[in-house]
Amino acid sequence: MRNVTIKEVAQAASVSTATISRVLNKSGYVSEDVRQRVLETVRQLNYRPNAVARNLKRDRTHCVGLILPDMRNPYFMRLAREIQALLSVRNYHILYTDSGADASRERIAINFMLENRIEALVIAGVGENADKLREVQERGIPLILIDRRVEDVHTDIIIDDNKGAAERAVKLLIDKGHRKIGILCGPEGISTADERREGVLNALVRAGLNYADMFWYSGDFSRSSGREAARQMTRLLEPPTAVFSTNNEMTFGLYLGLKELGQPLDFWEVASYGELEFAPLFANRLAYVKQNPEAIGRTAAELVLERIGGSDREEQCSEQIMLTPDIVCM
């Protein structure tokens, strides 16, 4: 007979996996009616928790896992520092891994976190390891997604309004008279890239512009792809007059490409999703979507403490927190 999972018990009892864990471990607050409902569901489903895993859970490690796709990106550096700063004052340690936006490396990192008995996992995922993330949840470990969604994983998530911000950034270029725009897209399948691409399309449709009149470049959120995009666009018989880059690292690469080609850095009017800290140092025509990684990091750390602490808010549905970035013109 197949073993019933903690997630199946949670669904049947209409509570979170963390609530199931608190009831069985007799730790943290759970109202009496919820406790009785959980115990009855456990009896009906004949759920037998892993005794070893449950005992390990009682032995607190005070470790929180953090998996990010690119620690070279200042956005993720600032986000990680905020998480560490807030959790360290509560005596939690961070186990950090840079996945390099690689699904296999991310999978190894998740296994590493589980082996080291983390008490929560915060991750900006690549989108291909939904089964491993569900395993994290089934073990009763709080899971917080940041920056990116992962299909078929339902948990707390803190993200930007990527679609709306990208639409506003492209509209800014259109309002300045640009009709042929270079669009530097991110990798398909990553929610941030997909949502920003959708925002671009919305802006074009609302302005009555043709998708085919734009120059579309499929990048990978790296500087090298921004440099290659610059090379390709400058070779066109009719280069675009403006560029929207869906990631700040690709924007950085775009400017590196212009420099290598001997072009002035204000060759294009540019809108970037994500700011460039060095941009005030040179002449440019640049607007950017100003993200707030500190707010995302702070909110993630607060959710970690809330979920680990077992407050009665655990019994509510998972939270989706969406931030609205500003558009800054330099």
Q: CA neighbours within 13 Å on the CB side: how many for 159?
A: 23
Q: What pLDDT does 244 receive?
A: 98
Q: What is the pLDDT of residues 257-277, one digit of tens each?
A: 999 999 999 999 999 999 998
The chain-wide mean pLDDT, for the chain, equals: 90
Beta bridge partners of 98: 68
Which is nearest to 163 in space by CA: 127, 208, 209, 197? 197
Q: Is the pLDDT score of 51 beyond 60? A: no
Q: Is 245 left (phi over 0), alpha (psi -120 to 50) or beta?
A: beta
Total Cβ atoms within 10 A of residue 320: 13
Q: What is the pLDDT of residues 55-103, one digit of tens each?
A: 444 567 899 999 999 998 999 999 999 999 999 999 999 999 999 999 9
Q: Which helix (H) or strand (E) holds 3?
A: none
- Please count the CA atoms within 13 angstroms of the CA of 175 that sit on its side-chain side: 9
Radius of gyration of the chain, Cα coordinates, nearest whole angstrom: 23
pLDDT of the residue at 8: 86
What is the C-alpha to C-alpha distance for residues 182 and 170, in angstroms, rounded to an integer? 10
For 117, list phi and psi in degrees, rounded to 5.
55, 50
The amino acid sitting at 216 is: W
Distances (CA, A) of 113 to 103, 121, 170, 221: 15, 8, 40, 26
What is the tens place of the pLDDT at every residue in 150-192? 998 999 999 999 999 999 999 999 999 999 999 999 999 899 9
Please report the pLDDT score of residue 93 as a whole number: 93
Least confident of 17-31, 200-214, 251-265: 17-31
Half-sphere CA count of 213, side-chain side, radius 13 A: 14
Which amino acid appears at position 192 of this protein?
T
**Segments in 101-184 forming alpha helices (H):** 103-115, 130-138, 162-175
Contacts of 184 (CB under 8 A, 6+ apart): 217, 219, 225, 226, 229, 243, 244, 245, 246, 247, 250, 251, 254
The Cα 272–Cα 250 span in angstroms is 9
Residue 311 has pLDDT above 80, yes or no: no
The total of other beta-carbon atoms located within 10 Å of residue 281's CB is 9
Taking the whole predicted model, whether its pTM rises above 0.75 is answered as yes
With a cut of 80, say whether residue 30 has pLDDT above it: no
Share of the chain above pLDDT 70, in %: 92
Report the phi/psi class of residue 284: left, alpha or beta, with left for phi > 0 and alpha for psi in -120 to 50: beta
Decide which of 228 and 29 is more confident. Answer: 228
Max Cα–Cα distance, the chain, nearest Å = 73
As given in the structure block, the two tokens for residue 8 are 């199946």
Cα dihedral across residues 193, 194, 196, 201: positive or negative: positive
At 310 the pLDDT is 66
> For residues 232 and 219, is the Cβ–Cβ distance under 8 A?
no
User: CA–CA separation, 142 vs 88, rounded Å?
Assistant: 18
Instruction: Specify the pLDDT at position 89.
Output: 92
Query: In DSSP terms, which residues pair with 63 in a beta bridge?
Result: 93
Q: How far is CA 198 from CA 60, 166, 274, 307, in A?
A: 43, 8, 17, 33
